[in-house]
Structure 1
């Protein structure tokens, strides 16, 4: 799983953080939006998408979901694509190893 912290858009002073990443176990990208910290408490969880398997299958879908909160720059898009490819490859290797041991 990868996780990257994004700075909210300048006009979104109501937000503390926007987190995005790739969850190989669920086969989905995710976005978690946190509101401001209240004294003595953790930041408020405003939204969490990608908590179900396959919920956000593409970067295009992820970009659409976060456009009101933050921007994905080209470098981060490349990193997320690499995370998706790498972890998908690791999952396939792990599954292959498991099947080989069964035989």
Structure 2
């Protein structure tokens, strides 16, 4: 899983952090928006999108969902696409090894 912290847009002084990333287990990108924490508590999740399998499957969809809260820089968008691609390659390799082991027994 990857997770990156973004600075909220200037008009959102009520937001502490916007987190985006790729969850290979669910096959989805996600956006989490955290409110400003109280002195005695951790920040509260105010918005979370991408918690279901295949909910956000493209970087473009992720950018659209995150746009009201934060901007995803072009370099980070490329990294997120790489995170997605790399996890698919990893899963594919693991599956190939598993099948090979089954066939060789």
Smaller-chain TM-score bracket: over 0.9
**Residue aligning to 1:26:** 26
1:31-52 deviation digits (Å, cap 9, x = unpaired) = 1110010111010110111111
Correspondence 1:55-74 to 2 at 5 A: 55-74=55-74
- Offset at residue 59 of structure 1 (A): 1.0
For structure 2, the 5+ residue unaligned runs are none
Instruction: Write the distance in 2 (CA, Å) between the matches of 1:99 and 1:22.
Output: 26
Structure 1 segments (4+ residues) deviating >6 Å: none
Larger Rg: 2
TM-score normalised according to structure 2 size = 0.94
Structure 1's unaligned 5+ residue stretches are none
TM value normalised by structure 1:
0.96
